[in-house]
A and B are shown apart, each in its own frame.
Chain A
């Protein structure tokens, strides 16, 4: 068959590719640390490179993917997983793995690096950066004076048909889960019903909302704060601007990205060093300056016009509850008539 001939030509190139790809993996405990990362390459690789350079501990090329998919993968792999460290974009995915009992306990000195509000009560994972929930709005279509101070204002007739949400997205669901722990299920259900009654517009994900707000398709939307910075970097004419709701409003919660170590890891000492490094000053500074997130450790301050981390004010929220409460959160969202 002709296809075979053609592929024969390509084989040497692919062998080269495999060689460059570097799938080095040694059986002994002290080998390279294997990372599964829900954070994309751009958001994590530079830190991993620094870690290698500073400590001499090798980190193999991470497996990148969606946090939820990687969590499912780790669950299927079970005891056979090659992974040592899991870095998640959302508390939901680490919560799921904690429930499956595949995460190891983190050492106290690592956990102590962050506020107790952003680490797991059972010591199975630790927050490494935060994303704040904000209202992004179109500067042409929303007057600064009419901006609300609470998400509960969004059910007012004034905002009818003007608000975008992403009910099927993990970050919205994490936010609703947190909101439930703060104000209770009945209030959350009433708020969701109010949104639906107010003709809320639904989108697939945060980035879709930010794009829609930028082009004026909806006037404002509930998103994680950093998407808008990316959008401005991509397009200087982008019309979206972040508005922070009142610091004690459920709409202002901080959603953490987390790191965890697999209980099956045969490289725990190095894995712990890596997690500790993610909470070190240079990594935290990277999260603040390069990815526009909230640093969580070592007193590093957020950059740009991002206000100081508000999690001290909402510190009573137990992020550890998030994983196992996701199912009922989804039910709440769906019973409001939104596609969870």
Chain B
């Protein structure tokens, strides 16, 4: 094994990495074993599902590209400029992530359809929106739901790299735009690539929205054959996982090993004055929030209002699910960050090839549909001697969440480790012998923005997770997502509206207090 800096990582890190690898490989192994066991034919299934596979790749690629553009643009505008109201906007732009996609898509469809708020508004100016179906609306809506995967890590990175770099570039005669593209953008490269990769993998595994928008992708094959033709279902899942692995490897290659000078220090961010672009920038942010937040929220509000007027809304039954959701989301985020950081240290600081492979597995895991992860854990828990006690307990549910969403902490954790320059570490080792004190005084402040953004993503994803929650949660453990799903399945839209609004509000509050406020505290320090 190639070890850089002539140092060997602590032994516990190896053990930890092996356990992580085993856990994250579990769903893939499960799918493989089932595919073979049920007599699934990969080649035949691949031949039969070329169309859906092609559409999955097309949709995932286009969504990643647009999400990268939107997410990066918003991050720069809301972190590096003097845009008015940017602190509030920073919370608002994260919110499209928090609606379960079936709710988000249904709310969007209802808003644009006849009788919906958007349709009514457009009707005034004589525009009739068409029925949303197929690639174009799927691309647009998924872009709106996924750009926060790019926004959060890029914004965190922008908070950690000194604007002095950009300023010196401008002193050297570069225009603002040149300085951004030549100096700042390279610094954001790894955050953008890891965010874009998350968007790609999310879209690969996405089912709720594409199902409602009638765009026929590989997940449709997996779901529609899950009972009737299991060999095909599992073979399709194998193909999906293979695709995820290939894309992760490609991203690793593109990112390369060359590291930019990711120097970080404490600083006060200078905001770039937008001048005459201010109105345009405000408008651009406004459009994203309008479509990503206001449109779905308008539908939820209409549904909720009808129910409140008709007295059909039950608020009290949402209290326990809201508490459960906040608790399990926060705990999962903390656990995910805690278990992923040591791996990131191995990858970034010691540059171990094996650890890099494990981190690829962690990231590819994000593309595995939640239903598959849940079933693999069921199979593991009931068939492995000695672990049966964990079945249908909260710890197993959290394991499922961490396997599903660990990828979102991975890129952020690597960024966080990179944010502590080797030189700074070396000098601090001379000055302070206690590793704990060093971690708290030196590493933590520099790592915090990225770790919080990674933890924030895990938090928001966990909050809306549905399939694994339904199958693995302790009996009687209800979350907001399961509540909203139940109401949706029954066609009780009033309750869906109220539940969805509570979900969004809770996410906004948690994002603010646990993620954004703490990231800003770094800046203010």
Interface residues in chain A, defined as those with a beta carbon under 8 Å from any beta carbon in chain B = 1-4, 6-7, 10-11, 13-14, 17-18, 20-23, 25, 34, 40-43, 60-66, 68-73, 76-78, 80, 82, 92-93, 96, 168, 173, 201-204, 207-208, 210-212, 214-217, 227, 230-231, 233-235, 326-327, 329-330, 339-340
In order of increasing CB-CB distance, the 9 nearest A-B pairs are A21-B476, A61-B476, A326-B228, A230-B491, A14-B327, A80-B382, A65-B470, A3-B334, A215-B114
A13 to chain B: which residues have CB within 8 Å? 323, 327
Complex alpha-carbon distance, A258 and B353, angstroms: 54
Count the B residues whose beta carbon is within 8 Å of the partner chain — how many?
Answer: 72
A78 to chain B: which residues have CB within 8 Å? 382
> In the complex, what's the smallest C-beta–C-beta distance from B134 to chain A, in angstroms?
11
Complex alpha-carbon distance, A233 and B307, angstroms: 9
> Of B227, B228, B323, B490, which contacts A14 at CB under 8 A?
B323
In the complex, the answer to whether A10 meets B470 with C-beta atoms within 8 Å is no
In the complex, the answer to whether B227 meets A92 with C-beta atoms within 8 Å is yes
B109 to chain A: which residues have CB within 8 Å? 208
> Of A10, A23, A65, which contacts B476 at CB under 8 A?
A23
Give the interface SS of chain B, mostly helix, strand, loop or mixed. helix
Nearest opposing residue in chain B for A212, CB measure: B113
> Of A3, A23, A62, A76, which contacts B514 at CB under 8 A?
A3
| Contact flag A17-B323 (CB < 8 Å), given A61-B476, A230-B491 | yes
> In the complex, what's the smallest C-beta–C-beta distance from B315 to chain A, in angstroms?
16
B259 sits at the interface (CB 8 A)? no
Give the interface SS of chain A, mostly helix, strand, loop or mixed. helix
B176 to chain A: which residues have CB within 8 Å? none
17 further interface pairs, Cβ-Cβ under 8 Å (given A23-B477, A68-B227, A214-B115): A6-B330, A10-B330, A17-B477, A21-B477, A23-B476, A25-B475, A63-B475, A64-B482, A69-B470, A76-B379, A80-B388, A82-B475, A203-B214, A212-B113, A215-B114, A216-B114, A330-B225
| Contact flag A20-B320 (CB < 8 Å), given A202-B214, A327-B228 | yes
A14 to chain B: which residues have CB within 8 Å? 323-324, 327-328, 331
In the complex, the answer to whether B491 meets A227 with C-beta atoms within 8 Å is yes
Q: List 10 A-B contacts (CB under 8 A).
A: A1-B337, A21-B475, A23-B477, A34-B475, A64-B486, A72-B226, A215-B114, A330-B228, A339-B216, A340-B225
B19-56: CB near A (< 8 Å → 1, else 0) gives 00000000000000000000000000000000000000
Complex alpha-carbon distance, A217 and B131, angstroms: 7
Complex alpha-carbon distance, A63 and B392, angstroms: 10
In the complex, the answer to whether A3 meets B471 with C-beta atoms within 8 Å is no
In the complex, the answer to whether A76 meets B375 with C-beta atoms within 8 Å is yes
Chain A-chain B contacts (Cβ-Cβ < 8 Å), number: 182
In the complex, the answer to whether A234 meets B491 with C-beta atoms within 8 Å is yes
B492 sits at the interface (CB 8 A)? yes
Nearest opposing residue in chain B for A237, CB measure: B115
Nearest opposing residue in chain A for B314, CB measure: A42
B333 sits at the interface (CB 8 A)? yes
> Of B471, B476, B486, B514, which contacts A73 at CB under 8 A?
B471
In the complex, the answer to whether A217 meets B330 with C-beta atoms within 8 Å is no
> Of A4, A62, A215, A329, which contacts B113 at CB under 8 A?
A215
| Contact flag A330-B490 (CB < 8 Å), given A82-B392, A208-B212 | no
In the complex, the answer to whether B382 meets A7 with C-beta atoms within 8 Å is no
In the complex, the answer to whether A17 meets B320 with C-beta atoms within 8 Å is yes
In the complex, the answer to whether B306 meets A235 with C-beta atoms within 8 Å is yes
> In the complex, what's the smallest C-beta–C-beta distance from A287 to chain B, in angstroms?
14
In residues 224-251 of chain B, which contact A (Cβ within 8 Å)? Answer: 224-229
Complex alpha-carbon distance, A20 and B110, angstroms: 36
B513 sits at the interface (CB 8 A)? yes
Interface residues in chain B, defined as those with a beta carbon under 8 Å from any beta carbon in chain A = 106, 109-110, 113-116, 131, 211-212, 214, 216, 220, 223-229, 303, 306-307, 312, 320, 323-324, 326-328, 330-331, 333-334, 337-338, 371, 374-375, 378-379, 382, 388, 391-392, 394, 444, 448, 451-452, 455, 467, 470-471, 474-478, 482, 486-494, 513-514, 518
Nearest opposing residue in chain B for A239, CB measure: B115
In the complex, the answer to whether B394 meets A23 with C-beta atoms within 8 Å is no
> In the complex, what's the smallest C-beta–C-beta distance from B351 to chain A, in angstroms?
25
| Contact flag A215-B115 (CB < 8 Å), given A17-B477, A339-B216 | yes
Nearest opposing residue in chain B for A334, CB measure: B224
| Contact flag A204-B475 (CB < 8 Å), given A14-B327, A76-B375 | no
Complex alpha-carbon distance, A327 and B225, angstroms: 8
> Of B113, B334, B374, which contacts A7 at CB under 8 A?
B334
> In the complex, what's the smallest C-beta–C-beta distance from B334 to chain A, in angstroms?
4
Nearest opposing residue in chain B for A329, CB measure: B228
In the complex, the answer to whether B475 meets A23 with C-beta atoms within 8 Å is yes
Which one of A10, A22, A61, A212 has the greatest number of beta carbons of chain B within 10 Å? A10
| Contact flag A71-B375 (CB < 8 Å), given A10-B326, A43-B490 | no
A227 to chain B: which residues have CB within 8 Å? 491
In the complex, the answer to whether B227 meets A72 with C-beta atoms within 8 Å is yes
> Of B224, B488, B493, which contacts A168 at CB under 8 A?
B224
Complex alpha-carbon distance, A78 and B331, angstroms: 31
In the complex, the answer to whether A339 meets B334 with C-beta atoms within 8 Å is no
> In the complex, what's the smallest C-beta–C-beta distance from A265 to chain B, in angstroms?
15
In the complex, the answer to whether A66 meets B470 with C-beta atoms within 8 Å is yes
Which one of A43, A60, A202, A215 has the greatest number of beta carbons of chain B within 10 Å? A215
Complex alpha-carbon distance, A85 and B8, angstroms: 55
A34 to chain B: which residues have CB within 8 Å? 475
| Contact flag A6-B306 (CB < 8 Å), given A21-B476, A217-B114, A217-B131 | no
Nearest opposing residue in chain A for B513, CB measure: A6
In the complex, the answer to whether A7 meets B114 with C-beta atoms within 8 Å is no
